Amino acid sequence: MTQWNIEDITPALRDSPPDRRNQVWRNWYDRLVSQLDDSDYRFMNYGYLGREGPELEPSDEADRIFIELYQVTLGGTDLTDKDVLDISSGLGGGAYWISRTCQPSSLVGMDLSPEAVGLCSKRYSDQHNLRFVVGDAESLPFPDNSFDVVYNIEASHCYTNFDVFLREVFRVLRAGGVFCWSDFQSRTSMEKIEADFENCGFEIVSLDDITDGVLRSLDSVHKAISEGKLDSNQIIWSSDTESLQDVIQEFADGRRSYHCCNLSKKNSIGSRI
pLDDT digits (tens, 9 = 90+) for 96-117: 999 999 999 999 999 999 999 9
User: Which residue type, as a one-letter code, is found at position 117?
Assistant: V
pLDDT recorded at residue 42: 86
Give the separation between CA 29 and CA 136, rounded to whole angstroms.
14
pLDDT at res. 233 = 53
Largest CA distance in the chain: 54
Measured distance CA(200)–CA(138) in Å, rounded:
14
Residue 122 near residue 39 (C-beta atoms within 8 A): no
The whole-number pLDDT of residue 200 equals 94
Q: Residue 60: CB partners within 8 Å, gap ≥ 6?
A: 67, 97
Q: Which residues contact 240 (CB under 8 A, 6 or more apart)?
A: none
181, 210 in Cβ contact below 8 A?
no
**Number of C-beta neighbours around residue 45 at 10 A:** 23
The reported pTM is 0.89
Q: Give the residues of the chain that fall short of pLDDT 50.
A: 1-4, 269-273
